[in-house]
A and B are shown apart, each in its own frame.
Chain A
Amino acid sequence: MTPEEETEFKRRQKSRNLVLGGVLLFFVVLFYAITIVRIGDG
């Protein structure tokens, strides 16, 4: 792997990790909200 390729590799890996982290965080919040709503339904 050339240095340029390695920089690109790192860049893509980083942006993918950020997106995945964001998605996971979103689902954590969503499942929390769903739980609260469904408990409220009783």
Chain B
Amino acid sequence: MTTLASNQSLPADWRDFFTLTKPRVMTLVIFTAVCGLVAAPGGIHPVLGFTAILAIAMGAGGSAALNHWWEADLDAGMKRTANRPIPTGRMRREDARDFGIFLSAVSVFVMGVAIGWLAAALLLVAIVYYAVIYTMWLKPRTPQNIVIGGGSGAFPPLIGWVAVTGEITAMPLLLFAIIFMWTPPHFWALALFMKSDYAKVGIPMLPVVAGERATRRQILGYTIALAPVALAPWFIGGTSWVYGSVAAALSALFLVLAMPVGTRKRSQSDLMIEEKRLFKFSIYYLFVLFAALVADRVLAANGVIGPGLFA
């Protein structure tokens, strides 16, 4: 381990603590958590709903801070991350660790006391999954790290749903599965056209370890596997045709865009247009799919559309 230069005499700026929580990642966490919370059957008092989302966001922030603490050495070696608070010496490494543990503990406690202990237990699992199982254990060891990392991004809608219902049913598990299957094609599309320094710091990203062809094949494979998962909420009767038709259209489009990425070969001075298009689309895909789910459930709850497959 290298010793990092630090200004130990100065207390770290509070904005650097905010940076540790990865605010940009958190916006997606909050969005999917809110979708899970609103789509769940039954209602939750707005104050409690807000508290549940806040707890999820704090848990995400806490585990992100732990990620900063653990990967400070790697971050220092990569251009994209070299200006983070710890590598630049704006913050002491242990402070990030303590902040992360404290934030995580508070988030689980608040969730348990205000909402329920099942949601709190799931939140704890999500934090440990991201900070320990993914960051510390599997990310540096397997080229499938993105698949595993996708699991941590898949927790928020599940927790949001369970915060309302108090039980784990098929629907929240499907929301988990959707994000889980969506993450690999989303991230690997980016990895194909973004030159990253991961190889330099020894993180085994799939395009580097298994080659570009294998990565392309796996993008296509996960996109194909995602389609039935995305349609499953409709098949099992958890949503109406409103969600079903949107999911079918999005799945078809995702497949159409993934096909060339999965099968083509990079040429000299390639602009990687297909890969960039797929990456951009994948973001809209998730956003629209979850919005459709919420619209579907809100319409159903207000009696605009009936239950059942085609009602």
Residues of chain A having any CB pair with chain B under 8 Å: 1, 5, 8-9, 12-13, 15-16, 19-20, 30, 33-34, 37-38, 41
Contact = CB atoms under 8 A, between A and B. Distances in A.
9 A-B pairs closest in CB distance: A19-B14, A34-B114, A33-B47, A37-B47, A16-B14, A37-B45, A12-B11, A13-B11, A12-B13
Contacts of A30: 47, 51, 54
A1 B9 contact: yes
Nearest to B51: A34
B47 A15 contact: no
Chain A interface SS verdict (over half): helix
Contacts of B9: 1, 5, 9
B166 to A, nearest CB: 13
A20 B9 CA distance: 20
Contacts of B11: 9, 12-13, 16
A30 B113 CA distance: 12
Contacts, number: 34
A5 B51 contact: no
Contacts of B47: 30, 33-34, 37
B209 interface: no
Given A12-B10, A19-B14, 14 more contacts: A5-B9, A5-B10, A9-B10, A9-B11, A12-B11, A12-B13, A13-B11, A15-B13, A16-B11, A16-B13, A20-B14, A30-B47, A34-B51, A37-B47
B94 to A, nearest CB: 17
A12 B17 CA distance: 13
Question: Most chain-B Cβ atoms within 10 A of its Cβ — which of A9, A13, A37?
Answer: A37
B236 interface: no
B85 to A, nearest CB: 13
A38 B116 CA distance: 12
25 contacts: A1-B9, A5-B9, A5-B10, A8-B10, A9-B10, A9-B11, A12-B10, A12-B11, A12-B13, A15-B13, A15-B14, A16-B14, A19-B14, A30-B47, A30-B51, A30-B54, A33-B47, A34-B47, A34-B48, A34-B113, A37-B45, A37-B47, A37-B48, A38-B48, A38-B114
